[in-house]
Amino acid sequence: MRVGIDYRPALVNREGIGRYTRELVRGMIELDFDANLGLFGYTLAPIRFARAELGLEGSRAELLRLRFPNRWMPWLLEKLGKGVDDLTGGADVYHHTQYNALAVRRAAEVVTLHDCIYMLDAGYMDRPTAERMTAAAREMAQRARRILVPSEYVGAEVVMNFGVWPNKVAVTGLGCDHVVRDLPPKVEKAGEPYILTVSRVDPRKNHLRMLEAFERLVKEGLPHRWVIAGPPGWNVEAFERALAESPARDRVEWRKFVAEEELPMLYARADLFLFASLNEGFGLPPLEAMACGTAVVSSCVTSMPEVCGDAAWLVEPTDSERIFEAARRILTEPERREDLELRGKQQARRFTWRETAKHTLIAYQKATEPEENEGPKLRRSL
């Protein structure tokens, strides 16, 4: 079975879809499937990773790369009378990894839908972007023989929003083992203590309420700084104003860029990882923190209970008092913190990119089989 994968995000995006695509292919290489991979990399953007960083060094995966503008690809395929599956070596299966599907001629199509957040009227992104992503996801969901989702929560959202049969949806999960790839076996927590949040700063990530909770921690006399690692996102101005006016502003360190190789130690040396997001399709940063041995406070909504299990202290994210109280108790009760650190490491071990790749390969195989409309058997399918 020859598989084509839209590898463009892996070449240019450090977070999100880029991370997913890179690590998925790494997992497939571990499973000795690399000789069957055609990685579609036609993009004008320069590659931000060396082949060794991509995990392709020494592998048999074929990276098909031309410096060609993304926006011209539909025109080129139409002009040539080809599909993107033809450009990846006559693929039997073609995997769309981003919300930018290209024409496919013969291959069975597989798509990853990471979430349905763009369909919410909740102020999480600008309307034109939300409408574009909704239209793209709807088209891809209808075209695909298999829809891959990172969590059961997203699977249910896809079924309800796009009206697809549940047996068309496969939960493939994400991995977090990349974060400990180069982490020493034991890390000492040295220097000034800090709380860590890793995420883009936008309304969905809920930094305003986390700031309120942190201000209470400072008022209570805790010595911690709050380190925010992540770039500014859409509609960040409200948080910027609140931070500028905060009595705790001198204790907040907003690092708008953190190199990928710095993140593991940043996670490992934190006393607490705080992630009170309002909506996630999966929520990888809490698992990354767990893998690095750090206690986690996260949200009790959307995918977070499914991903974190009993290894995090889950809070109602719209209640800054609950966020404060959970953080205060973990920071002042060493036994509770140590228990969460242990549980977190055990939980994180369940999520590897090898497992993601294994379940994805099963979905590829299913995509090549005759379609069966078995009816709405949601739990069995998801």
**Domains by residue range for the chain, with CATH:** 3-175+353-381 (3.40.50.2000), 178-348 (3.40.50.2000)
Burial of 120 (0-12, 13-18, 19+ CB in 10 A): middle
CB atoms within 10 A of CB 9: 20
Q: Which residues of the chain have pLDDT under 70?
A: 372-382
Q: d(Cα 280, Cα 300) in Å, to the nearest integer?
A: 11
C-beta of residue 285 within 8 angstroms of C-beta of residue 275: yes
C-beta of residue 91 within 8 angstroms of C-beta of residue 67: no
Task: Note the pLDDT of residue 190.
Answer: 76
The tokens of 66 are what?
């031309």
User: Taking Cα atoms as reference points, which of 174, 215, 214 lies closest to residue 197?
Assistant: 214
Q: d(Cα 153, Cα 290) in Å, to the nearest integer?
A: 21
Burial of 261 (0-12, 13-18, 19+ CB in 10 A): exposed
Task: Note the pLDDT of residue 194.
Answer: 98
Residues 6+ apart with CB under 8 A from 69: 43, 44
Mean pLDDT of the residues in the chain: 94
Task: Note the pLDDT of residue 378.
Answer: 47
CB atoms within 10 A of CB 127: 10
C-beta of residue 33 within 8 angstroms of C-beta of residue 361: yes
User: Taking Cα atoms as reference points, which of 266, 286, 288 lies closest to residue 277?
Assistant: 286
Task: Note the pLDDT of residue 372.
Answer: 65
pTM of the model: 0.93
Q: d(Cα 41, Cα 13) in Å, to the nearest integer?
A: 13
pLDDT digits 0-9 by tens, 136-183: 999 999 999 999 999 999 999 999 999 999 999 999 999 999 999 988
